[in-house]
Chain A
């Protein structure tokens, strides 16, 4: 008896869940859009760091040629 009554009223919580899910999906999609420019900034930083690193490695790389002349 009670079980049947619960089934009839069960469609409302279900609808509410879908509506809630749609409400949550909205902000989530916006978050994905915000992430795109973040990636571009990270790549730019990598290039800057790399150039600094390269300058630092010149002496060691020249020494490497002297240490292993047969492979260069």
Chain B
């Protein structure tokens, strides 16, 4: 009786841990604005080498506004972190770009070191040789 109760408690705990692990992964996607999330998913925008978002195809005004707004907010965050680290905004933004490109999901667009737009496949993204190896 006590054993089965313990087992059920352990089972519940394991389920809770598994559920927590599953919700941690897409947490970032959940917090994205729906318009941003869909533009990323359908490849209309992609991650650039310089740490900012870029429009892959023809820029329409609403997409332009979405990208500009996010890039302005990104730059503000880069400025804060760059000051704390004692580097330039461009240096911090580039380091951020390495990580953001490395973390693109399959199907999303990113800029290769030669400046061309690439679709992330199942393998690793093509990073600038200066990028630290990040997962």
Contacts and interface: CB of A to CB of B under 8 A. Distances in A.
B31 to A, nearest CB: 4
Interface in B87-111: 87, 91-92, 94-96, 98-100
Contacts of B81: 57, 60-61, 63-64
B52 to A, nearest CB: 10
A62 B74 CA distance: 13
Interface majority SS on A: helix, strand, loop or mixed? helix
Interface of B: 27-28, 31-33, 70, 73-74, 77-78, 81, 84-85, 87, 91-92, 94-96, 98-100, 130-132, 134
Given A62-B99, A64-B96, A70-B32, A57 B87 contact: yes
Nearest to B88: A53
A50 B94 CA distance: 10
A55 interface: yes
B28 A72 contact: yes
Given A51-B130, A54-B130, A61 B74 contact: no
Interface in A32-72: 47, 50-51, 53-58, 60-65, 67-72
